[in-house]
Structure 1
Amino acid sequence: MPDASQPASGTRTTDHSRVSSFIPSRVRILAALFGASLAVAPLAAQATPSLLIDVDSGKVLIADDATKPWYPASVTKLMTAYVTFRALRDGRITPQTLLTVSANAVAQAPSKMGFKAGTQITVDNALKMMLVKSANDIAVVIAEGVGGSLPQFVAEMNAKAAELGMTGSHFDNPNGLPDPDNYTTARDLAVLARAILLQFPEQADLFKMPAIQLGNRVIKTYNKLIDRYPGAEGMKTGFICASGFNLVGVAHRGNKRVLAVVLGTSSGRERTEAAALLMEKGFQQSWSIFGSVSPTVDSLKNEGGTPTDMRAQVCGPKRKTVASEADDDGDASPNGFAAAGMTGGVKMTGASLLVNLPPSMAPVPVWVGPTPSQAAIDAAYPPVPEKKGRKAASKKGGDKKDAAKQDASKQDATKPDTAKKDASKKKPDATAEATPATPPAAKPAAKPAAKPAPKPAGSAAPVPAPRPAN
């Protein structure tokens, strides 16, 4: 990984010793003191980056490893959105410009919308799907449509990063899927998020949507600060095993707006609670770990080095369930995390700051094609492949474990109306599969009431397909 002291788009050499003179002497010491009140005891040996800034002034309120290189995961999509906003402002595209789903987009790993190649989506709907669903396929659709090609768009991402002064960042794809050349820092993400908020205030609603609605399907955001932390205005979450659970969030209270970056936590619940605690601390009147000498986020200097790989901690054998971006509070952190701190002289937990608030807005309608059409939505999904001998599973949509693991394309394709059609198709297949067993069963048929009768029934049990491995 190149030295972060040079522009993100340039050729650099790694120098692990080159860090801001301010960071080691002031930020790390004060961050360590703050860490005593923001208790993350089980994770002390493996500190993860966090940063809190005042949006309007750019002043740093809290910083801990904020200049350390990290994998951004789906928070990458903030840069994809920023480049798209610039293209909209420059008149290269409009919100109604139609983008086409390519085979390359279809091939992306989940989370995804799962549309088939050739499907068209407006720029406006694509942005909503990418930012709420965190759809990796749609990020590629946007990149190819806005940039002309994926490589050209990625080059534009890096050019914009250099322009913003994101010296510790490099992007290699528009969605944040695993790639060693896709890295950033908490400091750079704060710079990017602040630029979006200040340069494109008209796009603010894209980041605060609690859900979108595609036909009859409601898709909720992964950002659990929305409608749970008072004043939350959204932004973006991200997760891959190497990065852990990341979050960039913004909230307001009165005239003050703060922006939090939390990287590398071990669960979705942990990142939400940690961000809520940071924000709560930031809303204290004129509070900063730096006192009157608060630096601005732009003045922080990024470190060199290789991003920390969180795979063992986040996706290792200690975890009870499979880690995914959808994780929230269903699985406690494998490291026993409990976000707690002193705020206003009162000890509180991150969980205590989160409440179920009334929905800030109804699910926002999205569609495929130029105008809303259920027929177009149905046509956007590939046909569901028939699976013989799965009659019961077809009716019920599979067991809960299978449903939790299937990707977005399968979830989208198994809408209630389609599932009924598939179930009716599979009935004849199941019957036909059982029919050939009739001729050999002629002899046993003569003694149906005899005690041996259960044995033929047991031998016929394999007719339904075995339950798939998870």
Structure 2
Amino acid sequence: MKPVVAALAAAFLVAVTLIAVVRPARADERAWIVVDAATGSVVKAHRAQAQHYPASLTKMMTLYMVFDALAAGELHLDDTMYVSPHAQEMPPTELGLRAGDRIDVETAIKALVTKSANDAAVVIAEHMAGTEWDFAMDMTARAEELGLDDTEFRNASGLPNPYQVTTAQDMAVLAQALIDDYPGYYKYFSLKRMRYHGRVYRNHNNLLGRYDGVDGIKTGYIDASGYNLVASAKRQGRRVIAVALGGRSAGARDRRVADLLDVGFNQLPSQLPPVPKAKPGRGRYAVQVGAFASEPAAKRITKRALEEARSALAGGIRRVAHLSERDLYRARVTGLTSGAAEQACQRLKRRGMECLVVRGTPTQIADGS
């Protein structure tokens, strides 16, 4: 019996460990972060890496997947999507879609942004991946590529699931990716209302129109999470992103985020930094970090390279070039000395990134910022 007892004890310990790992914070354990969008630097944070249930902040990732597909030409705004019985069964908030109905992609986007419609989220998931589960797995994989290291998705809506977790820091990263990668589509987050079948649905983000400069992005609530909000505001060319998780009421959450945005704007420099230029005596070398099927992906990787090898790439310029003959986007950081390029590549390879030192034309003005 001893081996059996030992095996059961080991299994119990593993189970306890797993429960401890995935246990998110309680709804009343608040977390927040405010970030300077120009640099990605954290202005202020509290428990920003503690895991919480995202609730409908999940739909930010759902929409990022939609924008990815639109940019790649795999989806179009006027495509219509079938409403399944599973989608119809989604609890509020929802549009009241019925099995057999069809809804176009743009309407579904607006429904997620404003009404936070769970049924529309499932329609998107099933249209893009066949099942909501498969779409959630794709969401998690894409989140990992974006650097959301502490986030897991199990559905497309944010309805309760004990294994669907995130952090304030990860939500700030996701908001930044939505703004940087898809500025044209990010504008949907500024919609204050939408009309569908004769009814008007208002955006749940109460800071839109009430806080100067707020132009998105998403609220979320389930009992287990408390009241969550990611908001971004832009004033005089400066942008701040704030995230608050675990609010005790919608009003308290909104006040917290407004205060965080105030802190962010008060601590940012009063003037924008100058357009970056290559330093004198530099510019003959570059590091190439890959070629990608989409321009946003190439820009994202060059940005990551600058973050991962910050000291070696100081003064380097992000440059994304379209290789029309291969329909790829080449990602480079240019304007470097030979030594800096070699040092950067060594560092990036240690971080698991592809890197090649190339000699090219000096870069004087930032491109693809």
Please state if 1:219 is matched with 2:201: yes
Alpha-carbon distance, 1:93 to partner: 1.2
The amino acid across from 1:185 in the alignment is T
Please state if 1:159 is matched with 2:134: no
Equivalence for 2:326: none
Please state if 1:92 is matched with 2:74: yes
Please tell me whether the aligned partners of residues 36 and 268 of structure 2 are also in contact (alpha carbons under 8 angstroms). Answer: no
Residue from 247, 254, 264 that aligns with 2:229:
247
Alpha-carbon distance, 1:14 to partner: 5.7
Equivalence for 1:66: 48
SS at match of 1:284: helix
Return structure 1 stretches of 4+ with deviation > 6 angstroms.
none
Equivalence for 2:186: 204
Give distance in 1, aligned partners of 2:144 and 2:187: 26
Residue from 261, 268, 273 that aligns with 2:255:
273
Please state if 1:111 is matched with 2:93: yes
Give distance in 2, aligned partners of 1:268 and 1:240: 12
**Matched residue count:** 251
Alpha-carbon distance, 1:90 to partner: 1.5
Query: Over residues 19-48 of structure 1, what are the superposed CA-to-partner deviations in whole Å (9 max), with x where a residue is unaligned?
Result: xxxxxxxxxxxxxxxxxxxxxxxxxxx541
Please state if 1:283 is matched with 2:268: no
Give distance in 2, aligned partners of 1:283 and 1:97: 40
Please tell me whether the aligned partners of residues 220 and 229 of structure 2 are also in contact (alpha carbons under 8 angstroms). Answer: yes
Residue from 115, 125, 128 that aligns with 2:110:
128
Alpha-carbon distance, 1:215 to partner: 4.0
Alpha-carbon distance, 1:239 to partner: 0.1
Give distance in 2, aligned partners of 1:285 and 1:73: 30
Alpha-carbon distance, 1:272 to partner: 0.7
Give distance in 1, aligned partners of 2:268 and 2:203: 32
Please tell me whether the aligned partners of residues 190 and 208 of structure 2 are also in contact (alpha carbons under 8 angstroms). Answer: yes
Q: Which consecutive residues of structure 2, in runs of 5 or more, have no partner in the other structure? A: 1-16, 22-27, 270-303, 309-369
Alpha-carbon distance, 1:286 to partner: 3.0
Which of the two has greater strand per residue?
A: 2
Q: How does 1:23-102 map to 2 (within 5 A)?
A: 47-102=29-84
Please state if 1:191 is matched with 2:170: no
SS at match of 2:260: helix
SS at match of 1:58: coil
Residue from 222, 227, 245 that aligns with 1:263:
245
Give distance in 2, aligned partners of 1:88 and 1:267: 35
SS at match of 2:50: coil
SS at match of 2:114: helix
Give distance in 1, aligned partners of 2:219 and 2:142: 21
Please tell me whether the aligned partners of residues 146 and 174 of structure 2 are also in contact (alpha carbons under 8 angstroms). Answer: yes
Alpha-carbon distance, 1:213 to partner: 1.2
Give distance in 2, aligned partners of 1:256 and 1:241: 35
Alpha-carbon distance, 1:106 to partner: 0.6
Alpha-carbon distance, 1:233 to partner: 0.6
Query: Over residues 227-272 of structure 1, what are the superposed CA-to-partner deviations in whole Å (9 max), with x where a residue is unaligned?
Result: 1111111100000000000000000111210000000011111111
Residue from 99, 121, 140 that aligns with 2:122:
140
Give distance in 2, aligned partners of 1:162 and 1:15: 22
Please tell me whether the aligned partners of residues 221 and 227 of structure 2 are also in contact (alpha carbons under 8 angstroms). Answer: yes
Structure 1 residues 47, 221: closer, same or farther in 2, change over 3 A?
A: same
Alpha-carbon distance, 1:91 to partner: 1.5
SS at match of 1:66: coil
Query: Over residues 304-326 of structure 1, what are the superposed CA-to-partner deviations in whole Å (9 max), with x where a residue is unaligned?
Result: xxxxxxxxxxxxxxxxxxxxxxx
Q: Which consecutive residues of structure 1, in runs of 5 or more, have no partner in the other structure? A: 1-12, 18-45, 288-295, 300-470
Equivalence for 1:173: 155
Query: Over residues 407-465 of structure 1, what are the superposed CA-to-partner deviations in whole Å (9 max), with x where a residue is unaligned?
Result: xxxxxxxxxxxxxxxxxxxxxxxxxxxxxxxxxxxxxxxxxxxxxxxxxxxxxxxxxxx
Query: Over residues 32-86 of structure 1, what are the superposed CA-to-partner deviations in whole Å (9 max), with x where a residue is unaligned?
Result: xxxxxxxxxxxxxx54100000112111001000000000000000000011111
Give distance in 2, aligned partners of 1:135 and 1:267: 20
Alpha-carbon distance, 1:119 to partner: 0.7
TM-score normalised to structure 2 length: 0.65
TM-score normalised to structure 1 length: 0.51
Give distance in 2, aligned partners of 1:236 and 1:145: 23
Alpha-carbon distance, 1:97 to partner: 1.0
Give distance in 2, aligned partners of 1:147 and 1:261: 29
